[in-house]
């Protein structure tokens, strides 16, 4: 199944989510400014971008291999950027060129099981996570299956960076007796690729770590019973830094995600 990649209402929802997430962990994690130049690697219509946060849309499939262990594979489409809390879409992004992350992860639940996600909150950790950051001229269409995210138009892309897990956690917020919303946060290494050329303008050298945070609404999650779930246009953000957040930072971030889930339920009621 394919899904169109960009709509105004989901974009607004991702912006509100990112702002709320930033508020949840701003006391522990600053948002350093960076500059990228898609045009430097030949991405059609790309020009210099200065921002402190990247807004992304999650297309992924989560599969439970047993009651507590899972795999999570997918694509994170870059939809817009932020600077000082102001959201903007660079000229050409998702019209003449695209940027995205492709990731593969495994993890396990420390509270709850696959069968209890809809009836009680859960939490867990990532065990492994690797990713690539790429770009390509033209347009791409993202979707998801129960096993993984999908991308049409991503082949032949330019590798910009890659990395792996430093640490991260997952959790779910119960919405009713049959539905839940999954959340996640992870810190990863960030290594620029030799093929990136002058894409990463500043700082020099570029940041060597990145923080990613994800939350979802019911409309972005398709449930596959105790086998897992599929996420289409889930909300998230990526920003860069040099320090490694402490464990209590993850707790604060996931706590902020829980607050968002509570507010969403309250609004529906």
State the Cα–Cα distance between residues 74 and 56, nearest whole angstrom.
Answer: 12
State the Cα–Cα distance between residues 233 and 218, nearest whole angstrom.
Answer: 11
Question: How far is CA 220 from its chain centroid?
Answer: 13
Domain ranges of the chain: 8-268
Specify the pLDDT at position 253: 53
Judged against a pLDDT cut of 70, whether residue 11 lies above it is answered with no
Specify the pLDDT at position 215: 87
Burial group, residue 115, by CB count within 10 angstroms (0-12, 13-18, 19+): exposed
Question: How far is CA 211 from its chain centroid?
Answer: 9
Residue (of 125, 111, 9) closest to 70 by Cα position:
125
Judged against a pLDDT cut of 90, whether residue 63 lies above it is answered with yes
First vs last C-alpha separation in the chain: 32
Per mean pLDDT, which range of 101-105, 125-129, 160-164, 172-176 is the poorest? 172-176
Instruction: State the alpha helices, DSSP H only, in the chain.
Output: 8-25, 247-268
Residue percentage of the chain with pLDDT more than 90: 68
Q: What is the mean pLDDT of residues 170-177?
A: 83
Residues 6+ apart with CB under 8 A from 20: 256, 259, 260
Specify the pLDDT at position 30: 59
Specify the pLDDT at position 10: 42
Sign of the Cα pseudo-torsion (47, 40, 77, 97, in order):
positive
State the Cα–Cα distance between residues 89 and 18, nearest whole angstrom.
Answer: 15
Residue (of 175, 190, 206, 149) closest to 3 by Cα position:
149
Residue (of 155, 134, 152, 226) closest to 1 by Cα position:
152
Judged against a pLDDT cut of 60, whether residue 220 lies above it is answered with yes
With cut-offs at 50, 70 and 90, classify the pLDDT of residue 177. low
Specify the pLDDT at position 22: 45
Judged against a pLDDT cut of 50, whether residue 195 lies above it is answered with yes
Residue percentage of the chain with pLDDT more than 70: 78
With cut-offs at 50, 70 and 90, classify the pLDDT of residue 257. very low
Per mean pLDDT, which range of 66-80, 191-205, 241-255 is the poorest? 241-255
Q: How many CA atoms lie less than 13 Å away from 109 in the CB half-sphere? A: 25
Mean pLDDT of all residues belonging to the chain: 84
Q: How many CA atoms lie less than 13 Å away from 222 in the CB half-sphere? A: 15
With cut-offs at 50, 70 and 90, classify the pLDDT of residue 26. very low
Name the DSSP letter for residue 79.
E
If one compares 118 and 40, the residue with the highest pLDDT of the two is 40
Judged against a pLDDT cut of 90, whether residue 94 lies above it is answered with yes
Distances (CA, A) of 125 to 26, 111, 122, 264: 22, 10, 11, 24
Mapped onto helix, strand or coil, the DSSP state of residue 198 is: coil
């Amino acid at each position: 199944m394919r899904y169109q990649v960009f709509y105004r209402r989901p974009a607004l929802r991702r912006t509100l989510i990112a702002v709320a997430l930033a508020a949840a962990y701003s006391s522990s994690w600053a948002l350093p400014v960076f500059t990228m130049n898609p045009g430097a690697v030949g991405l059609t219509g790309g020009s210099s971008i200065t921002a402190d946060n990247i807004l992304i849309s999650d297309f992924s499939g989560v599969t439970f291999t047993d009651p507590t262990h899972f795999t999570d594979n997918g694509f994170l489409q870059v939809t817009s950027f932020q600077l000082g809390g102001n959201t903007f879409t660079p000229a050409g992004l998702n019209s003449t060129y695209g940027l995205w992350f492709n990731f593969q992860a495994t993890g396990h639940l420390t509270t709850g099981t696959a069968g209890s996600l809809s009836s009680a909150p859960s939490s867990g950790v990532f065990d492994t996570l690797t990713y690539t950051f790429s770009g390509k001229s033209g347009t791409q269409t993202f979707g998801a299956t129960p096993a993984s995210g999908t991308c049409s138009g991503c082949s032949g892309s330019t590798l910009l960076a890659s990395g792996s897990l430093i640490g991260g956690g997952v959790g779910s917020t119960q919405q009713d007796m049959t539905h839940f919303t999954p959340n996640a946060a992870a810190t990863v290494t960030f290594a620029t690729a030799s093929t990136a050329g002058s894409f990463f303008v500043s700082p020099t050298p570029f940041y060597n770590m990145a923080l990613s945070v994800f939350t979802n609404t019911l409309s972005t999650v398709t449930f596959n019973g105790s086998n897992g779930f599929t996420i289409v246009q889930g909300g998230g953000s990526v920003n860069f830094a040099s320090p490694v957040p402490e464990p209590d930072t993850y707790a604060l971030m996931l706590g902020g995600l829980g607050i968002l889930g509570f507010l969403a339920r309250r609004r529906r009621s």
